[in-house]
Amino acid sequence: MSDSIYFVVFPYLAVILAVGVGLYRYFINRFSYSSMSSQFLENRALFWGSVPWHYGIVLILLSHLFATVIPRFWASLHSDPTRMLIIELVGGILGFLTLLGIVIVVLRRIFSPKVAVVTTVMDWILLADLLLQVAAGLYIAFFYRWGSLWYEYTAAPWIASLASLTPHSDYIIPLPWIVRFHMVNGFVVIGLFPFTRLVHIFTVPISYLWRPYQVVMWYRSQTAGTGGAFMEQGGRAGGTGEPGEISRRSFFLKVIIGTLTSIGGLILAIPYLRAIFRSSPPTASAWSEVTDIDSLPVGQPVDLKFEMVSQDAYIHGATVRTVWVIKHSADNLTVFSPICPHLGCYYTWDAQAKLFECPCHGSVYTITGKVIAGPAPRPLDTLPYKIENGKLFVQWERFKVAIPEKVRV
Ligand code: FES
């Protein structure tokens, strides 16, 4: 299946689902937002699981958000190696805290019979998915270190492109599979949002971070009915007491939310189907004009921006790209992709050392692209070029990172 489905279509579907069904649930069955009191009957393991989980996950999510929304500020934090080390260390500790929390929460639901009996299938699906997500995040932090830095060059622009409705998945397609899984699974969690107890986040329950858990005394009257019956009664208590009015209001809300969600779904359906049924493999991108050959200095790498028109699923539009160009003579050039083959950061040219240097993990390349230091698994990637009427044309391509072979994605 096309990468566009995973990295473009699916994220939008997940958000539409989260907003559409989340609103529906909020207006139609608001009282299902809270956990039944019997969930709190066991509160010792709950404390040791819930507190580290919430402190860890809230801060980790905030750091992801900051790096995406204010990348310049985030980048300035990393400009000092000591600060970057501290950020990575704190991130690692929070990651372990989060993992510890979710493991305790899962074990509590397995081993506490009172809690296990009120755990739904969706609870198990959600917990399993969150566990996977946290474990994948920690694995990435450990084995692909300085993620807080390369996130800025990969995930952040991808998410920003989704948010600005100009999706560009090629920022992340070359990344290792575990990183891509982590990103897509983040949207799986968003999609699960309205079907699980995660909706409680909408109520911004910040006070849970400092207030002690309630002690719940279990008293079940023979005639009181089930928790489901309680929720039903609670839902009605929120209205005016007129059953006819409630059902009319519910009906119109259902129609409005259903219509909005359907329109959103329809807008995405066409490119989605087109991406699924696209029979031919992606073709090489067209030639893009970059600059006049005469304007280039000889023997000196220069980074040049150019505009290219791309078409992938429903992504159609002009994108600004960068390439490094070294002119050896009027008809002999080297054109490098600006992307470090290690994990996809953008490297720079050190004019004094006469070396290309990647800030993320310290890979260093000669002017010919050869690796002389750092973890990069292969030389810099060259791009096809041609010269016509004194102008340089380049064919933009992306290659998989973190592998020794140069493989186009
Ligand atoms: Fe790791 Fe460049 S991305 S050295």
pLDDT in tens, 14-73: 999 888 888 887 777 766 655 555 566 667 777 888 888 888 898 999 888 888 888 777
What is the reported pLDDT for 279?
43
Q: What is the Cα–Cα distance from 318 to 83, expressed in whole angstroms?
A: 37
Amino acid sitting at position 275: A
Tokens at 29, concatenated: 């069955």
What is the reported pLDDT for 261?
58
What is the reported pLDDT for 268?
54
What is the arithmetic mean of pLDDT over 285-289? 84
What is the reported pLDDT for 115?
79
**By alpha-carbon position, which residue is closest to atom 3 of ligand 1?**
343
Strands 302-312 and 385-388: unpaired
Confidence of residue 369 (pLDDT cuts 50, 70, 90): very high
Note the Cα 190 to chain centre separation in Å. 10
Q: What is the Cα–Cα distance from 352 to 343, expressed in whole angstroms?
A: 25
For residues 26, 28, 31 and 33, what is the CA-based torsion angle, rounded to 10 degrees? Answer: -30
Query: Which of 19, 275, 69, 20 lies closest to 169 in space, CA to CA?
Result: 275
What is the reported pLDDT for 252?
62
Q: What percent of the chain has pLDDT over 70?
A: 71
Q: What is the Cα–Cα distance from 146 to 154, expressed in whole angstroms?
A: 13
Ligand 1 test: best mutation among 172, 360, 364, most atoms within 8 Å of CB?
A: 360
Q: What pTM does this model have?
A: 0.63
Instruction: Report CA torsion sign: 74, 75, 81, 84.
Output: positive
For the cut 90, the answer to whether the pLDDT of residue 176 exceeds it is no
Query: Which of 40, 22, 30 lies closest to 232 in space, CA to CA?
Result: 30
**By alpha-carbon position, which residue is closest to atom 1 of ligand 1?**
361
- Poorest-confidence range of 67-71, 189-193, 351-355, 387-391? 67-71
C-alpha separations of 263 from 7, 17, 146, 269 in Å: 21, 12, 41, 10
Confidence of residue 4 (pLDDT cuts 50, 70, 90): confident
What is the reported pLDDT for 375?
87
Name the 3-class secondary structure at 359.
Answer: coil
Residue whose entry in the numeric block shows the structure tokens 């140069």? 406
Burial environment of residue 279 by CB neighbours within 10 A (0 to 12, 13 to 18, 19 or more): exposed
- Poorest-confidence range of 141-155, 161-175, 277-291? 277-291
Ligand 1 test: best mutation among 339, 363, 378, 381, most atoms within 8 Å of CB?
A: 363
Residue whose entry in the numeric block shows the structure tokens 């690796």? 371
